Amino acid sequence: MEWASIAYAMGVGGQGGAGGQAGGGLAAFAPLLLMVVIFYFLLIRPQQKKQKEHRNMLSNLQKGDRVLTQGGLQGTITGMTDTVVTLEIADKVRVKVQRGYIAAVLGKGETAE
């Protein structure tokens, strides 16, 4: 019986305790919502922008472009399919790499340092 009176005094039981906390539920989620918005603009959106730029760069590859792979190989594109790019990394030395592993397009005669 003592627990029931303590719970009632704290506003847990009965009908009178619910009237004062009508807006409390929404206010409790405001900080969480703010954190989600901050994470979106600081982490998710910039990553999506980078992915879009990378897809555009991959779709604009052409034979003769000098490229840098994610593994650090530099070469000139000598052939391409939808998924594979053939690079000439030295005189008469050609390697095939997945198109998605091209990290950057270098300018003519430019090397990554």
Q: What is the pLDDT along the chain (113 residues), one digit of tens a residue?
A: 577 677 777 775 555 444 455 556 778 888 899 999 999 999 999 999 999 999 999 999 999 999 999 999 999 999 999 999 999 999 999 999 999 999 999 976 556 65
96 burial via Cβ count (<10 Å: 0-12, 13-18, 19+)? exposed
How is the chain split into domains, by residue range?
A: 23-60, 63-106
Cβ–Cβ contacts within 10 Å for residue 87, how many? 22
Task: Tell me the CATH number for domain 63-106.
Answer: 2.30.30
* Strands 84-90 vs 102-106: parallel, antiparallel or unpaired: unpaired
Residues β-bridged to residue 93: 90
> Would you state the pLDDT for residue 28?
83
Work out the angle at residue 58's Cα, subtended by the Cα atoms of residues 56 and 60, and round it to the nearest 5 degrees: 70
Contact 43, 65 (CB under 8 A): no
Q: What are phi and psi of 19, to 5 degrees?
A: -70, -30
> Would you state the pLDDT for residue 98?
96
